[in-house]
Amino acid sequence: MKLILFGPPGCGKGTQALIIKKKYNIPHLSTGDMLRSAVESKTQIGIKAKDIMDGGGLVSDDIVVAIIKERLMQSDCDKGFIFDGFPRTLSQAEALDKIVLDRKTKISYVIEFSVDENIIVERIIGRFSCANCGANFNETLNPTKRKDVCDFCGGRKFLKRDDDNEETIKNRFKAYY
């Protein structure tokens, strides 16, 4: 199964992708996660993308397509994958068409998410994850049962993305639309 999950930042694509990933044992390909990893690893692509991402903008199609193309060559994508946040532009969609044709396959489904912007802002500003197991929480909508203790693994270290602030979110909405 080859899926595209489409919708604005913070609408729940990543949450749903994790559920689908577990059920079908296919990789979840989040361009945002791949770019953040490249930034953290200080790769050439990561260095190019850092300033753009810090301002809430979208990196160039060339960079995104290069990351996707490279990732799809890995063997765990042979039986399927879930795109989360890709493609975002006509140019990316055209590049994906070419990649899919070259691989002699096709996209199975495209699922579009629609969520009220105010709810998304509340979700994004309050979200955090367990540094140990990656479980996702939200300060108001889905807090840990015991303060500062992960419900799943008992971890006590949590991560919050630097770009999860209202100004950056508004910029991401503008870029998305």
Q: From first to last of its 177 residues, what are the pLDDT tens digits of the chain?
A: 999 999 998 898 888 999 999 999 999 998 878 888 888 888 888 888 888 877 777 788 998 998 888 888 889 999 999 998 899 889 999 999 999 999 899 999 999 999 999 989 988 999 999 999 999 999 999 999 999 999 999 999 999 988 898 888 888 888 888
Is 123 a known active-site residue?
no
pTM of the full predicted structure?
0.74
The pLDDT assigned to 114 comes to: 92
The pLDDT assigned to 46 comes to: 82
d(CA 84, CA 30): 5
Is 36 a known active-site residue?
no
The pLDDT assigned to 170 comes to: 85
What is the C-alpha radius of gyration for the chain, rounded to an integer number of angstroms? Answer: 16
Q: Where are the beta strands (DSSP E) in the chain?
A: 2-6, 28-30, 81-84, 109-112, 127-130, 136-138, 158-159
Is 103 a known active-site residue?
no
The pLDDT assigned to 109 comes to: 96
Q: Which of 22, 146, 161, 170 is catalytic?
A: 161
Q: Which of 2, 13, 21, 123 is catalytic?
A: 13
- All residues at 6 or more sequence positions from 13 whose CB lies less than 8 Å from its CB, including other chains: 5, 6, 7, 30, 84, 85, 113
d(CA 63, CA 166): 26
The pLDDT assigned to 158 comes to: 98
The pLDDT assigned to 94 comes to: 97
Q: Is 142 exposed, middle or buried (0-12, 13-18, 19+ CB in 10 A)?
A: middle
The pLDDT assigned to 103 comes to: 87
Instruction: Report residue 169 as tokens.
Output: 């979110």
Q: Which of 2, 21, 123, 127 is catalytic?
A: 127
Most distant CA pair in the chain, distance: 50
Decide: helix, strand or coil at residue 149: strand
Q: Which of 2, 36, 123, 172 is catalytic?
A: 172
Decide: helix, strand or coil at residue 85: coil
